[in-house]
Structure 1
Amino acid sequence: MAARTDLSPAQKRRLEMLQEPLKAHGLSGLLVTQPENRRYLSGFKPADPQLNESAGFLIVGRSLAILGTDPRYEIEARREAPGYTPFIYSKGLEGSWSQISGLLQGINRLGFEQGGLTYLFYQRLRKIIRKSKASIQLTPTQNLVEGIRARKDPGEIKAIRKSLAVTEAVFQEMAAKLRPGQTERAIAWKIKTLIHQRGGEAIAFEPIVASGPNASQPHAEPTDRPIQKGEPIIFDFGAKVDGYCSDLSRTIFLGRPNDRFREVYGLVRRAQEKAEKGIRAGLNTREADTLARSVIDQGGYGRHFNHSLGHGVGLATHELPSLSPVKPVPLETGMVVTIEPGIYLPDWGGVRLENMVVIGERKSRLLNREAPFYKLD
């Protein structure tokens, strides 16, 4: 196999960390097709254009680092991933495979990302391997790279903070300009424009702007409904900077908050504060979720908190760990997660408040720089 000596320090460290799960699963290499995993290990940035069209893949092992892509991305491959052997399949994957078949002689069990590979591509790859007479067994894997990505290094946390600063600045500007009669859809478009104007390279996900009864849907899509006085409005959006995402939720009430909003909002805010103060390494994800859920349960709204407490954020908006009561896993230092309790009441609306924290050994560190929360107590 061809050893690479020009990998960056981060790439070397990440590939070294990958060796342990590869060994644990009895694998001599891994086919990486998931876009964020590709970028994390190699620096190769292009996203997949659509579900059935890939920008490329990696094949990595102990002394192997190959980046495969088609001629559309050759310039990016050579510029962004100089530590990887470029495999440009200009004659199609089948017609070009012989270029790297010699480099794969030491690979006998090649893992593939079962959540990031279409069945069509899997069948195609099996046919190519059989035709090349290579003794490579394709083996499904799950979350090998994602498990490493869950713990952020200082450079990643810096990028997330930059992304979050853009998102917070956009929210402050947006909130100051809210007026009755503006539609959810128009506000969402304005958010996207402001993210670019404030230095974001992209939106992390499509913004949620949900007013009145629409706010009872945790993932409502913006509509042409005009926002009005006397009702809650949930905002949920994020920017992307240097490839890293942020995620922020706030709830605004146009006009003077009424008693119901004060009760629901106050309860959600207390749940968020308890979780932010209590979450730390060593707790499992169920215990973290319980910190906030117990407050809402005791307030009588437990069945209206119908999602998990939060999730990891990094190159993807939703990544490991999931702060869910289902399938608990331990929290580790360096994980960046959201704390976003919510209450959703049909025919009225909802309240969700979301901050981001870095998990620490004894306590966690809040990444948000501003806190425009109502003081309702």
Structure 2
Amino acid sequence: MNQDRIARVQARMIEVGVDAVALTSPVKVDYLTGFAEGTYERFLSLTLFREGAPVLVCPALTENQARRHGIEDIHPWRDGENPYALLHGLLAKRSALRVAVDDEYWAKHLLALQHECPGCHFSLASDVVDYVMRAKAPDELAKLRAAGKIVDDAFAELLTVIRAGQTELEVQATLQGMVAARGGKPTFCQVAAGPAGAEPHHQNDDRPLTKGDVVVIDFGCEVEGYQADITRTIGVQEVSARAHEVYDVVYRAHMAGRNAIRAGATGGHVDHATRQVIEDAGFGEFFNHRTGHGIGRRVHEAPEIGPGSPDVLMPGDCFSVEPGIYLPLELGVRIENIVNATAEGHDCLNAEPSPTMILIS
């Protein structure tokens, strides 16, 4: 049990006017208690009230594991029983009518709970638990830095072996092996060569890297539950002047976004700084996503670094800065680093990207 985190969630509940927070997300339950149980069809919910210890409603078959992590107020249920009525009774006992649930609450669980609790008002817990999770403690920052170093070092090694003729899938296997060899848990890896680079969510295939290709490589890893996420763009042998131009614009947009970071600025302010560079260069319509996303226990979390985002940056916020330009059927360029917001600006959790496109043989 992490009493400090629990206390911060409870303080935030009072600030936003919530009586109870009911969580099913394994990541969030683990964040608060150290108890990790995968999401599945049986209902499991950790509920926090404004004061006192958390309450866990869980299948009887997971009760012992939960107790080993210091959760004492456990209400197990067996197959055939109604866990939603069980949670309703706990809410009613504390007159908790304003209930926040996490974004990952399964629809079937929420609908059943709403049926059992007709007098309750349900809202999302994003402004409670997600908000508390944003400000990373020193030990969390250390894990994020460790994960960042693994992907940095793996990419540096990849540059010594990647060659024309290798397929996207082969590059993926090589890179993820390098991550694993350094103690990281590989999570995702996108290798988008040539026209596929214009697909931000490309699925790797057996297309070989070919002379003239611009290759977008986006990959990550996990270290002790914390995530890394990095994107680099390279060229195969010789690339067009247009490709170099696009890379230069994206690099300048990336740096402009980072220069706009400081505690007190909004996510929208940072996004505007990156987007303005790309729009001024005439590529605005080809930047089709937000500038960045928070990162920590999950690859994507708060804050939002996107157009008009009102999220006010605070010291300890960790997020990506990843502008991109995607020219359909031609090429894509994206550059991504993870940063930690500070009062003075930011710390970068990755090695600096190259200001010019790296070419491989």
TM, length-normalised to structure 1: 0.85
Of residues 35-44 and 332-341 in structure 1, the stretch that sits farther from structure 2 once superposed is: 35-44
Give me the whole-angstrom Cα distance separating, in 2, the residues matched to 1:338 and 1:197.
25
Which of 172, 176, 199 does residue 160 from structure 2 map onto?
Answer: 176
Give me the whole-angstrom Cα distance separating, in 2, the residues matched to 1:351 and 1:185.
19
Q: Flag the 1:15–1:259 CA change in 2: closer, same or farther, 3 A.
A: same
Which of 145, 168, 179 does residue 129 from structure 2 map onto?
Answer: 145
Q: CA deviation at 1:89?
A: 2.6
User: Superposed, which structure 2 residues align to 1:1-377 within 5 Å?
Assistant: 7=1, 11-49=2-40, 53=41, 56-61=44-49, 62-79=51-68, 81-91=69-79, 93-94=81-82, 101=89, 105-109=93-97, 111-113=99-101, 115-126=103-114, 137=120, 139-143=122-126, 144-203=128-187, 206-369=188-351, 371-374=353-356
2:333 counterpart letter in structure 1:
V
Q: Flag the 1:198–1:75 CA change in 2: closer, same or farther, 3 A.
A: farther
Q: Flag the 1:98–1:295 CA change in 2: closer, same or farther, 3 A.
A: closer
Give secondary structure in 2 for the equivalent of 1:256: coil
Give me the whole-angstrom Cα distance separating, in 1, the residues matched to 2:320 and 2:117.
42
Q: CA deviation at 1:164?
A: 1.2
In the TM superposition, structure 1's runs of 4+ consecutive aligned residues that sit over 4 Å from their partners are 95-104, 126-130
Q: Flag the 1:181–1:73 CA change in 2: closer, same or farther, 3 A.
A: farther
Give secondary structure in 1 for the equivalent of 2:82: helix
Aligned residue in 2 for 1:133:
none
Give secondary structure in 2 for the equivalent of 1:182: coil
5+ residue gaps, structure 2, are none
Give me the whole-angstrom Cα distance separating, in 1, the residues matched to 2:19 and 2:129.
15
Q: CA deviation at 1:365?
A: 0.8
Give me the whole-angstrom Cα distance separating, in 2, the residues matched to 1:264 and 1:173.
25
Give me the whole-angstrom Cα distance separating, in 2, the residues matched to 1:183 and 1:299.
32
Q: CA deviation at 1:189?
A: 3.2
Give secondary structure in 2 for the equivalent of 1:64: coil
* Two-structure CA RMSD over aligned residues (Å): 2.6
Give me the whole-angstrom Cα distance separating, in 2, the residues matched to 1:78 and 1:92.
23
1:87 counterpart letter in structure 2:
H
Give me the whole-angstrom Cα distance separating, in 1, the residues matched to 2:252 and 2:123.
43
Q: CA deviation at 1:285?
A: 1.4
Aligned residue-pair number? 356
Give me the whole-angstrom Cα distance separating, in 2, the residues matched to 1:208 and 1:41.
32
5+ residue gaps, structure 1, are 1-6, 131-135
Give secondary structure in 2 for the equivalent of 1:223: coil
Q: CA deviation at 1:372?
A: 4.6
Give me the whole-angstrom Cα distance separating, in 2, the residues matched to 1:103 and 1:297.
51
Deviations, residues 282-312 of structure 1 (Å, cap 9, x unaligned): 2111111121111112222121111111110
Aligned residue in 2 for 1:3:
none
Deviations, residues 63-110 of structure 1 (Å, cap 9, x unaligned): 03123333554454233x314533333445527976995797224325
Give me the whole-angstrom Cα distance separating, in 2, the residues matched to 1:123 and 1:30.
16
Give me the whole-angstrom Cα distance separating, in 2, the residues matched to 1:272 and 1:98.
50
2:59 counterpart letter in structure 1:
D
Give me the whole-angstrom Cα distance separating, in 2, the residues matched to 1:159 and 1:167.
13
Q: Flag the 1:84–1:345 CA change in 2: closer, same or farther, 3 A.
A: farther
Q: Flag the 1:177–1:288 CA change in 2: closer, same or farther, 3 A.
A: same
Of residues 111-120 and 354-363 in structure 1, the stretch that sits farther from structure 2 once superposed is: 111-120
Give me the whole-angstrom Cα distance separating, in 2, the residues matched to 1:262 and 1:22.
50
